[in-house]
Structure 1
């Protein structure tokens, strides 16, 4: 009696290798991301002052020993607000990416696996969702449910979901025709088990690359929403809100309170895009071999 051994492409094997071979830009961006995450996690302990407490006797002060990056028009320490603001500025996009990725994977996997009219209907629904810009949906959510972080995050998650769903849908339609999937089905495994436990792990790295890119765009959208005064509300520190509140300081020759959070947003968005795109390119090269 012969025994058939099914070999699946391991997830860790696809993730491991290739990172050290990436260029210097990838490494710099990866270090930046790790640094921002560390700052966001330990911000309350790293901030030298309470960013919600203003000193009206020391407004729009320049950089000094007490205020490394100066203060804004409310006397808030810009450096402390930058550190603590990293938490809210990164937490919102994380919620968008987690929700949109989980729902997108479920929708895309079901659509790609079933095919036929089910896939056609879901595909048309995804096309309709693509027509609504994420920032417009977020503004609509704010108009309906009020300012804050919760409603915009949920609305943007709905807007970002089709990107992951369409990606998973296409990959599933290709992957389900591979021999290892047919072999599992022939052995009597349930289709749900094969799709979730055997097929889905092979899509993980590619979905992770897409989610990384989505994170950068979600951060930019939420920062723009806070800049418009519709997102995170004062006194909670947030990079977008800091840029909005620093208008008076810029006009009076103290631009650091606006420039520093703007640079932080640009660095995080660029870093996430570089890491996500190079990660995806690396996976594409490995799959082509």
Structure 2
């Protein structure tokens, strides 16, 4: 027997995006993705990879140059720079992950509700998002530190709120376009609840674009949190963090020992650029596929 042609309900756009999504990209994308995977593995296995405890300094080796025992030298406190770099990957990536997860999940919920309902609901949510757009993420993070104290938790929550409008606006626009498609009407005609259609059928089709935007947001969140730690308002010593490492290495930089500052700064730049490349190229692929 000949297989029946897929119906409108079966041919939902975006099906299989996770399986096909990363296969059509060039060398730069693959290098960036490999670099990100490397940093993730380093963050996961840092306690076993670090040759020294980065929280314990040795005053006999203050601002020492690279050697067999200290591959990247030490800082002004005698801490091993290489070990601090490895351990710092954990806190430096964990903070942006919290920002992106919270802002993306909240933005998806708000944007899906706004785009699906439309009308007065959409207008009210739109005004609230406009107000949130007026507050820069770094300014909100500094305000959160002033209210709740230094650390990672308060800035992450504040920046997640600041990043929420970007995800919500994107999801709202995609939902407004997607809900006019034939497969959505077909599900509604069959008697499926609107909430079921929106969450179980419409949302998976816009998820690839939201993922691409979230990937770019991760890089920006990492940069903002590193800047906050550099100002001394984020992760506090002795917990290793790339932004805090740059701040603490200013003395070593003036003394002609730049590795303590250059290495964490290079790590921040590489990760931010890699996330931007992965997110933007994946988004470009989705846009090209939709216009064909």
TM-score by length of 1: 0.97
**Cα distance in 2, alignment partners of residues 196 and 124 from structure 1:** 24
**Cα distance in 1, alignment partners of residues 7 and 33 from structure 2:** 41
**Cα distance in 2, alignment partners of residues 18 and 86 from structure 1:** 27
- Give 1:14 shift: 2.3
- Give 1:8 shift: 3.6
Aligned match of 2:116: 113
**Cα distance in 1, alignment partners of residues 9 and 280 from structure 2:** 31
Deviations 1:71-118 (A, max 9, x none): 000000000000000000000000000000000000000000000011
Q: Select 1:267's aligned residue among 262, 267, 270.
A: 270
**Cα distance in 2, alignment partners of residues 41 and 31 from structure 1:** 15
**Cα distance in 2, alignment partners of residues 19 and 204 from structure 1:** 15
Aligned match of 1:152: 155
Moved over 4 A (4+): none
Unaligned runs of 5+ in 1: none
- Give 1:9 shift: 2.8
Deviations 1:30-57 (A, max 9, x none): 1100000000010000001100000011
- Give 1:12 shift: 5.3
**Cα distance in 2, alignment partners of residues 17 and 197 from structure 1:** 20
Task: Confirm whether residue 15 of structure 1 aligns to residue 25 of structure 2.
Answer: no
Instruction: Write the mapping of 1:1-289 to structure 2, written as runs, cut at 5 A.
Output: 6-9=9-12, 11=14, 13-17=16-20, 19-289=22-292
- Give 1:21 shift: 3.0
**Secondary structure class of the residue paired with 1:236:** coil
**Cα distance in 1, alignment partners of residues 192 and 64 from structure 2:** 68
Deviations 1:224-253 (A, max 9, x none): 000000000000000000000001000111
- Give 1:124 shift: 1.1
CA RMSD of aligned residues (A): 1.3
TM-score by length of 2: 0.96
Count how many residue pairs are aligned between Structure 1 and Structure 2. 287
Unaligned runs of 5+ in 2: 1-5
**Cα distance in 2, alignment partners of residues 268 and 261 from structure 1:** 11
**Cα distance in 2, alignment partners of residues 172 and 83 from structure 1:** 41
- Give 1:288 shift: 1.6
**Cα distance in 2, alignment partners of residues 18 and 143 from structure 1:** 42
